[in-house]
Amino acid sequence: MTRAEHIQALLEDYARQRTLNELDEQRRYNEAVAKVPRIAELRAESASLALNAMRSILDGRTAEDRAAVAANMKARGLAINAEIRGLLRQNGLPADALEPRYRCPVCRDTGYVGDAPARFCDCFEARLRLRQYEDGSMAGVDEQNFSKFDPEFIPEADGQRDKMVKARNMCARYADSFPATEYRNLLLTGEGGLGKTFLLNCIFERVTSRGFSAIRITAFRMFEAMRQQHVGNDDKYEGFSTLIEVPLLLIDDLGTEPMMRNITVEYLFTLLNERNAAKRHTVIATNLTPKQLMERYGERVSSRLLDKTICGSIQLKGKDLRQR
Ligand SMILES: [Zn+2]
């Protein structure tokens, strides 16, 4: 994909996000009104205030009259807002229950900031960089989703097919219930060619099509983001912090990234630790066994990867599907 195509795709993602925001706001409004019908009356009155002010201007009254009308309108508007907030609180709802909520409050999910000529918001630039990172290493993943899963392609011998069907179901449950998943994290292990990347991409596809923000990245690209952050030669570089902050991070092929002193283990620890502390979801696919994870990354990292209280584990076994 070219940069222009990435920008186009991202703008569409932002437009979807704004639609979701509106639906969410409407849902919260409906819930509040169901509990407190008076709120609907107040909202209607608030909407008619501006209309009445407009009428008074059209009526051709004097400037003093218009100023008085505007002052009354402002005072009444504030009183209405205060009454709504009070009603919400009295009924056990947060006072800001009806306020808009944004994934990025800076650009209000438009992707742009500033007056014309507007520039892309930092959140947009960071997503754009990550998309370009992913590109190339992730060719063809757009076609990978749960509906493409066909058990017929998997050998029945040694229970390989059963295992894969179970794994597929677990991943689909995870993606469907996100963010209220049974386990916050998932670890997919097994040798190459068993379908781990496919499942990872399926989760990504399902979760993002449900409107949540997610990043899928190969371990190699993740390492690049860490290295850039480490050398700090680009102040605007935010790739690594985006990896920390995204609600769902999917890392493919952990263990194939370069091992660089002061970077790989340290930054991976920071990444996992910060994400765990903030209760964000992480899905990791790796060819490494638990023992190899321990040897490569040490106790601090591997204990976080293998923590059974927050991490569901899927172990694939069998014949390489690519060799069939
Ligand atoms: Zn933004």
122 is a domain residue: no
Residue with tokens 């063809």: 140
Looking at the structure, do residues 63 and 201 belong to the same domain, yes or no?
Answer: no
Per residue in 171-222, pLDDT (tens digit) is 999 999 999 999 999 999 998 888 898 899 999 988 888 878 888 888 988 8
Residues 277 and 197 in one domain: yes
Cα 11 from Cα 111, distance rounded (Å):
7
Q: Which two tokens stand for residue 196?
A: 């781990």
**More confident call, 86 vs 103:** 86
- Residue 91, amino acid: N
Q: Which domain holds residue 31?
A: 3-90
Residues 164 and 268 in one domain: yes
pLDDT score for 275? 95
Residues 167 and 307 in one domain: yes
Distance in Å, CA 14 to ligand 1 centroid: 10
The pLDDT score that the predictor gives to residue 167 is 92
**C-alpha of residue 32 to centroid of ligand 1, in Å:** 28
Candidate from 78-82, 137-141, 165-169, 299-303 with smallest mean pLDDT: 137-141
Burial of 266 (0-12, 13-18, 19+ CB in 10 A): middle
| Range with the largest mean pLDDT of 2-16, 234-248, 288-302 | 288-302
Lowest mean pLDDT across 47-61, 139-153, 257-271 = 139-153
Arithmetic mean of pLDDT over the chain: 86
Taking the centre of ligand 1 as the mean of its atom positions, its distance from the CA of residue 180, in whole angstroms, is 25
Q: What percent of the chain has pLDDT over 70?
A: 92
Q: What is the structure's pLDDT at 62?
A: 78
The reply to whether 144 and 210 lie within a common domain is yes
Last residue of a domain, one of 25, 57, 90: 90
Question: What's the 259 CA to ligand 1 centre distance in angstroms?
Answer: 33
Q: Are residues 73 and 10 in the same domain?
A: yes
Cα(104) to ligand 1 centroid in Å equals 5
Q: 182 and 54: one domain? A: no
Report the distance separating Cα 218 and Cα 254, nearest Å. 7
Residue 59 has a pLDDT of 73
**229 CA → ligand 1 middle, Å:** 20
pLDDT at position 137, please? 53
For ligand 1, the distance from its centroid to the CA atom of residue 129, given in whole angstroms, is: 14
Judgement on whether residues 317 and 194 belong to the same structural domain of the protein:
yes
d(CA 123, ligand 1 centre) in Å: 4
User: Does residue 258 lie within any of the structural domains?
Assistant: yes
**Tell me, what's the pLDDT at 236?**
47
Residue type (1 letter), 286? T
Ligand 1 centroid – CA 121 distance (Å):
5
Across 31-55, average pLDDT: 89
Mean pLDDT to the nearest integer, 252-270: 93
- pLDDT for 298 equals 96
Using the predicted structure, report yes or no on whether residue 229 has a pLDDT greater than 90.
no
Q: Total domain count for the chain?
A: 2
Q: Cα(177)–Cα(194) distance, rounded to whole angstroms?
A: 24
**Both ends of the chain: CA-CA distance in Å?**
30
Query: Would the pLDDT of 324 be above 70?
Result: no
Q: Of the candidates 33, 59, 90, which is a domain's last residue?
A: 90
**Residue 237 above 60 pLDDT?**
no
- 162 vs 143 pLDDT, higher one: 162
Residue 75 domain-assigned (yes or no): yes
CB crowding 179-217: b at 16 or more within 10 Å, else e? eebebbbbbbbbeebbbbbbbbbbbbbbbbeeebbbbbb
Instruction: Read off the pLDDT of each residue in 84-94 and give the average, rounded to a whole number.
Output: 94
Distance from residue 253's CA to the centre of ligand 1 (Å): 30
Query: Which CATH number does the domain housing residue 250 bear?
Result: 3.40.50.300
Q: Is residue 128 part of a domain?
A: no
CA of residue 165 to ligand 1 center, whole Å = 39
Question: Which pLDDT does position 148 carry in this prediction?
Answer: 77
Higher-pLDDT residue of 262 and 132 is 262
Asked whether the predicted pLDDT for residue 2 surpasses 90, the reply is no
Residues 81 and 190 both lie in one domain = no
Residue 99 included in any domain: no
Contact 193, 323 (CB under 8 A): yes
* Separation CA 284–CA 255 (nearest Å): 10
d(CA 186, CA 282): 7
DSSP 212: -
Q: pTM here? A: 0.61
